[in-house]
Chain A
Amino acid sequence: MTVDALRRHRPETLADLLATYGQELQAVAYLILRDRGEAEDIVIETLLTAFERGGRIRDERALRAWLLRVATNHALGSRRKSARLIRLDVSPETAGPGDMASESSARIVLLDGVARLPLQMRAAVVLRYYADLSVEEIAATLGKSPNTIKAQLQTALDRLRVHLADPIGTSLGEANHA
Chain B
Amino acid sequence: MHDDRIEEQLRTILRSEGDGLSLTISASELERRLAARRRQAGGRRLSMVAAAIAALAVGSIFALSNGWLRLPAVGIVAPPSASPARTGVPSAVPSKAPSRTPATRSSDWLGSPVEAVLVRPIGDDARPDSFEVTRLDPLTGISVLIASIPGTVLPPDARLDAGMPPTVSLTGWLAIPVERGPTADDVFRAFVVVDLTDPAREPVVFNHYDAISWSMVDGLAMLNGEAVDLAYPGLRDVVRFQVLGLPVNFLRSSRHGGPTVSTQEGSRFLATSNVGVTTEWGSVGYDGRFTATTDLPPIYQRTGLERPAGVAAHTLVMGCDSNGSATAACALVEMDATMDHPVATWVKIAAGESLYDWAWAVDGRQAWLLLDGGVEDGVRVASLNVAPSPGRRREQARIDFPTDDSRPSILGITSETRPGQGALLAIGDDAGFVRAFVTPDGSVFYENGRAWFAGWAGEQPDYDPD
Q: A56 contacts which chain B residues (CB < 8 A)?
A: none
Within B13-28, which residues are at the interface with A (CB < 8 Å)? 13-19, 21, 23-27
A12 and B6 contacting across the interface, CB-CB below 8 Å: no
Mask, B187-226, CB within 8 Å of A = 1, is 0000000000000000000000000000001110000000
Stretch in A15-23, A59-67, A167-175 with 4+ CB within 8 Å of B? A15-23
Q: B86 contacts which chain A residues (CB < 8 A)?
A: 12
B25 and A43 contacting across the interface, CB-CB below 8 Å: yes
Contact of A11 among B7, B25, B31, B94 (CB under 8 A): B31
Q: Is B89 an interface residue (CB 8 A)?
A: yes
A30 and B18 contacting across the interface, CB-CB below 8 Å: yes
Q: B13 contacts which chain A residues (CB < 8 A)?
A: 107, 110-111
A10-B94 contact given A48-B34, A114-B14, A164-B1, CB 8 Å threshold: no
Contact of B92 among A16, A51, A165 (CB under 8 A): A16
B7 and A129 contacting across the interface, CB-CB below 8 Å: yes
Mask, A18-43, CB within 8 Å of B = 1, is 11101110111011000010011001
Within A117-135, which residues are at the interface with B (CB < 8 Å)? 125-126, 129-130, 132
Q: B7 contacts which chain A residues (CB < 8 A)?
A: 129, 157
In the bound assembly, the distance between CA atoms of A126 and B17 in angstroms comes to 11
Q: Which of B29, B30, B34, B94 has the most CB of A within 10 A?
A: B30
Q: B34 contacts which chain A residues (CB < 8 A)?
A: 11, 14, 48, 51
B25 and A22 contacting across the interface, CB-CB below 8 Å: yes
Closest to B101 in A: A44
Q: Is B447 an interface residue (CB 8 A)?
A: no
Total contacting residues, chain B, CB less than 8 A:
41
Stretch in B57-65, B120-128, B231-239 with 4+ CB within 8 Å of A? B231-239
Q: Is A9 an interface residue (CB 8 A)?
A: yes
Mask, A43-54, CB within 8 Å of B = 1, is 110011001000
In the bound assembly, the distance between CA atoms of A25 and B409 in angstroms comes to 50
Total contacting residues, chain A, CB less than 8 A:
43
Q: A144 contacts which chain B residues (CB < 8 A)?
A: none
Q: Is B3 an interface residue (CB 8 A)?
A: yes
In the bound assembly, the distance between CA atoms of A161 and B6 in angstroms comes to 7
A48 and B37 contacting across the interface, CB-CB below 8 Å: yes
In the bound assembly, the distance between CA atoms of A24 and B29 in angstroms comes to 18
Q: A149 contacts which chain B residues (CB < 8 A)?
A: none
Contact of B89 among A19, A47, A160 (CB under 8 A): A19
Q: Is B375 an interface residue (CB 8 A)?
A: no
Q: B37 contacts which chain A residues (CB < 8 A)?
A: 48
Closest to B1 in A: A161
Q: How far is the CB of B102 from chain A (nearest CB, A)?
A: 15
A11 and B21 contacting across the interface, CB-CB below 8 Å: no
Contact of B94 among A8, A19, A160 (CB under 8 A): A19
Q: How far is the CB of A110 from chain B (nearest CB, A)?
A: 5
Q: How far is the CB of B33 from chain A (nearest CB, A)?
A: 6
B30 and A18 contacting across the interface, CB-CB below 8 Å: yes
Closest to B235 in A: A9
Contact of A18 among B3, B11, B27 (CB under 8 A): B27
Q: A51 contacts which chain B residues (CB < 8 A)?
A: 34
Q: A39 contacts which chain B residues (CB < 8 A)?
A: 21
- Can you list 9 residue pairs at the A/B interface with Cβ under 8 Å? A11-B218, A11-B219, A19-B94, A23-B19, A26-B18, A39-B21, A111-B17, A130-B11, A160-B10
Extra pairs beyond A10-B237, A24-B18, A40-B24 (15, CB < 8 Å): A11-B232, A14-B31, A15-B89, A18-B25, A22-B23, A22-B94, A27-B21, A39-B21, A40-B25, A44-B29, A44-B30, A111-B17, A157-B7, A160-B6, A164-B1
**Residues in A lying within 8 Å of B, measured CB to CB:** 1, 8-12, 14-16, 18-20, 22-24, 26-28, 30-31, 36, 39-40, 43-44, 47-48, 51, 106-107, 110-111, 114, 125-126, 129-130, 132, 157, 160-161, 164-165
